[in-house]
Amino acid sequence: AQSVAQPEDQVNVAEGNPLTVKCTYSVSGNPYLFWYVQYPNRGLQFLLKYITGDNLVKGSYGFEAEFNKSQTSFHLKKPSALVSDSALYFCAVRDGSGGFKTIFGAGTRLFVKA
Amino acid sequence: DTGVSQDPRHKITKRGQNVTFRCDPISEHNRLYWYRQTLGQGPEFLTYFQNEAQLEKSRLLSDRFSAERPKGSFSTLEIQRTEQGDSAMYLCASSSSGQGAPRVNEQFFGPGTRLTVL
């Protein structure tokens, strides 16, 4: 069965500092991994994905994530946080070997302080 | 690209009533998903359509829930005999399976329908 864990309910960083939002996953087949962001009163927006290829993937708004197969992790990173990055971030996984069921984590709220 | 739209945006109903929600995906997307999201949780997968075929359905989904996607365009999600535990945000998403398309596997989400069961 697929599962996603986001171990931190909330991450606080100062503007200009690097940020990391953690995600670990479990899937029996090939993992398709995603990050989505949800701003207040707005729908979920796609940030980036890992399907195959380079372990470091770059996405929207300067975010990137590193796929680590041995640690079954897909942490979201940004070198320099902005106040406008404050939002709710969701990690998601799909078994790329079959099926289209996508499992989302519970979310991590990111607060960036000016 | 007009985005995914959902109707209504809000629905208040009494326990025991039936409700139906509509989702209009991005026109060229052949994949459509329904999710349920409660406060403090991530979206929970309900069901998946490829064109008009319902290919996956969550085992957690009660028999009171049914979804259709006639002609592979818009989709409806019906909840019969609503219960207070059905109160949640119901999200629809669509994606493309076009080979080689740059945004394959990315799900585009609608604004959701917030259901309150009294």
**Residue A33: strand pairing partners:** A50, A93
pLDDT of residue A40: 83
Q: How high is the mean pLDDT of chain B?
A: 92
Q: Where would I find the beta strands (DSSP E) of chain B?
A: 5-7, 10-13, 19-24, 31-37, 44-50, 53-57, 65-68, 75-79, 88-95, 108-109, 113-117
CA atoms of A49 and A65, how far apart (whole Å): 8
Of B58, B105, B112, the CB nearest to A43: B112
Q: Say what the pLDDT of residue B28 is.
A: 86
What pLDDT digit, counting tens, does each position of B8-28 carry? 999 999 999 999 999 999 988
Q: What are phi and psi of B8, to 5 degrees?
A: -80, 175
pLDDT of residue A26: 94
Q: Which residue of B has its CA nearest to A41?
A: B111
Q: Of B2, B45, B48, which to mutate for an interface test with A (greatest number of A Cβ within 10 Å)?
A: B45
**Tens digit of each residue's pLDDT (9 = 90 or more) over B31-61:** 999 999 999 899 999 999 999 999 999 987 7
Dihedrals phi, psi of A84, to nearest 5 degrees: -70, -10
Nearest C-alpha in B relative to A50: B105
- Give the pair of three-digit tokens for residue B109: 């989400």
pLDDT tier, B102 (very low <50, low <70, confident <90, very high otherwise): low
Per-residue pLDDT at B71: 87
**Nearest alpha carbon to residue B10 among B115, B91, B103:** B115
